[in-house]
A and B are shown apart, each in its own frame.
Chain A
Amino acid sequence: MNKRDFLKGLILFFPAGGMLGALAGMLEAKEAAPAQTGTAGAAPKPGPKAYDPKSHYYGMGIEIDKCIGCNRCVEACKAENDVLQEPFFFRTWIERYVIKKDGNVVVESISVKSKAPKEASQDDADVLRTFFVPKLCNHCVHPPCVQVCPVGATFSTEDGVVLIDSKRCIGCRYCIQACPYGARYLDPRTKTADKCSFCYHRVRQGLLPACVEVCPTQARIFGDLKSKASRLVRFARLNKIHVLKPSLNTEPKVYYAQLDGEVR
């Protein structure tokens, strides 16, 4: 075949390919367009009292200076969300930081009761600062877990909560690798990924997440960033706010007040 014939053939391929592409595009658009007039389980029409996710945006505030490390939040979360009682599946947990005068930092998770001997117990005189830090899923604005999920099983709702579709999750564990905060784990019963959901089932009913509900010192504050009267907005007005690992640009929505620089 000479060059001319080859080029002629090539010219034919473009319209053929274009037609195929257009066909695929049309088919995809037809499928993606939501059904007209509310058939087959599409989103309900917002009535006067119906919940409009766009008008809410949830976040959490944590005051380090108020946390007493009692672990009530951890236990309440496990009770509310049916999390296994084992010491390796936590939707939320508490860390203790002990910063010594010689610069050493000792960290342990007080929510894990392991049989291993603890780090040397604190000798008060050597301690410069010590405090508790509650941790949980940060429900980031740019969640790396949502970005990497191959099947889109984890997603952000419009009201700012990152949820997991456990029916779609294939258990590839990429999201667990991608989370910089260690907030995710694999539920061994369903073999799908699991994590804190901000107790979405409670929040939608106007209740507080279980961890916020039982905290005896109100170290955890839950609120709606879009509301005019919100504990969280007041919290953000009165405190200088930190987030975990800001350099990773995940924009977490769990805001810490009085967070120490040693916390990772």
Chain B
Amino acid sequence: MSEVLHELLEQITGFIYPNEVEIHWSLLIVVYPYITGLVAGAFILASLVKVFNVKDLQPTYRLALLTALAFLLVAPLPLLLHLGRPELFYEILLTPNVTSAMAMFGFVYAWYLMGVLLLEVWFEYRRDLIVMAGRERGLMRWIHRALSLFSTDTSEAALAFDRKAIRAITIIGIPSAFLLHGYVGFIFGSVKANPWWSSVLMPIVFLMSAIVSGIALVIFLYMMLAAIRKEPVDMRCLDTITSYLFYAVIVDFSLEALDFIHRLYESEESVKILGKLITHKLFMSLFVLQILIGMFIPLGILVVAKWRRLNEDGRKLLYFTAVILIQLGIFSTRWNVVIGGQLFSKSFRGLMAYKLEVMGIEGFLSAMALLALPFVILAVLIRVLPTKRLADEASGAAPS
């Protein structure tokens, strides 16, 4: 550890407080808001179906829910791995300091997982679980019966109640999703010591970029799943969902541009060092990755795909490219906030450096593993909870 710090000491420009040479929040803390952002974004997409009745998006509803669940389960892992004393993690739930945003987030997370996501998944899948339990024997039968809480009522009245419950939960879920990821933005935005983070817009910008990344992820997964299953993609669904993505990117870009213009115009004391920060340290990750590759080029691709009236294959190719670039862009956004905020001194007189390790618990490989894990969990979830509504017991036809 000390060798790394000695190296970093040589890479300082200007003046920093001596203790600042160590970059405390590493790549794992970049991964964490990225993951919770995907959760919030996927859920908002699901809410478009259930609350705003955008019927065209129905094919992606279950996938969006399961995606949100898979990523939510992984979200605490980077935090746990990053702690200096991970074995004491329970203290944050046992004896939280109520003035700390980080502590209160533990409860927001628990509420969102238990009170919103798991509840909605349960109501959505209850009927299918009963149907599957009826068809299977042995262990899988007991698993499905247990998951449905041994309920057996598939009458129309019960199903109608389920639908109402889903609607109610989603209505509560939208502000809860806003709270979940907005809170992460607040954890940064409320740090008055750091002018790069301290901003009223921070939770809003975080949330908007979360919605962008969540929608992009569900598009990606929907297309991948269709390719794996060798099934056709519902193009109306895809066209609608990419329209929402387009509007979300526009709003996200507007908010980030607003933040930028506002800082430049007000020209507070920190503007000089922040200018140095983005030109010297964040040039590639901000101007190239976040803005050019993450926003302008995907926007251009989406415009081309929609206005040029390409055929289905052309549109699918462009959409797929756009969503991958968007993911890169949003990850860069998180990097620029988290790492960027730690690369300049609070004396406003110097810049530090961050060394990304490859190995080690906070290294590149570890972060990649954490990013891959939700996909593994999602695969398991899809096996247990089908993405398409199952056919009725009596009739053989799949209900609409």
Contacts and interface: CB of A to CB of B under 8 A. Distances in A.
Interface of A: 1, 86-90, 93, 95, 105-109, 111-112, 114-116, 135, 144, 146-152, 168-174, 176-186, 188, 190-192, 248, 264
Interface in B1-52: 1-2, 5-6, 9-10, 12, 14-22, 24-25
B100 interface: yes
Interface string B336-353: 000000100111110000
B154 interface: no
Contacts of B25: 173, 177
B21 A151 contact: no
Which of A144, A170, A181, A183 is packed against the most chain B CB atoms within 10 Å? A170
Contacts of B82: 172
Nearest to B79: A172
Interface in B184-209: 187, 190-194
A150 B96 contact: yes
Contacts of A87: 6, 9, 18
Which of B24, B83, B103 is packed against the most chain A CB atoms within 10 Å? B24
Contacts, number: 146
B17 A181 contact: yes
Contact of A86 (B5, B14, B106): B5
Contacts of B86: 170
A188 B12 CA distance: 21
A210 B191 CA distance: 32
B255 interface: no
Interface string B290-309: 00000000000000000000
Contact of A182 (B18, B97, B103): B18
Interface string B261-272: 000000000000
A191 B85 contact: yes
B231 interface: no
B88 A168 contact: yes
Which of A112, A150, A174, A176 is packed against the most chain B CB atoms within 10 Å? A150
A264 B348 contact: yes
A106 B82 CA distance: 36
Interface residues of B, number: 52
A162 to B, nearest CB: 14
A86 B103 CA distance: 32
Which of B18, B22, B99, B347 is packed against the most chain A CB atoms within 10 Å? B18
Nearest to B20: A182
A85 to B, nearest CB: 10
B127 to A, nearest CB: 17
A93 B18 contact: yes
A52 B161 CA distance: 63
Contacts of B164: 1
Interface string B225-262: 00000000000000000000000000000000000000
Nearest to A249: B192
Contact of B97 (A108, A152, A176, A180): A152
Contacts of A176: 19, 24
A185 B97 contact: no
B9 A114 contact: yes
A1 B346 CA distance: 60
B156 interface: no
Which of A88, A112, A174 is packed against the most chain B CB atoms within 10 Å? A88
Nearest to A96: B15
A144 B19 contact: no
A151 B9 contact: no
B188 to A, nearest CB: 9
Contacts of A115: 9-10
A168 to B, nearest CB: 6
B85 A171 contact: yes
A116 B85 CA distance: 33
